[in-house]
Structure 1
């Protein structure tokens, strides 16, 4: 059978928030003040599940 396998599809998608996994006091969070990532964030926004599309 060549149709889509629905049970396998769920394994391909998952929710992951980097923000949930980086501690509030981690060095990466302090770098955010000095590095402008607005262009990258705008590009990735369309792929981010947390904004509720």
Structure 2
């Protein structure tokens, strides 16, 4: 069909909030409440290269390891 698309752009995107889908009593919420990893980045900054592709955020990597265990 020629002409402008009838589909609205918001239909291409959706909002997803992980907080809305993880139950309040889930184990991950307890881990997040008690484990503060905000200072990890400062301790590991010397080990990450400033050239090339950016690496995985160290805080995210440690959180993924905790979830894996």
Tell me the TM-score range normalised by the shorter chain: 0.3 to 0.5
Q: Which has the higher contact order (CA 8 A, sep 6+)?
A: 1
Rg comparison, structure with higher value: 2
TM-score (norm 2): 0.38
TM-score (norm 1): 0.47
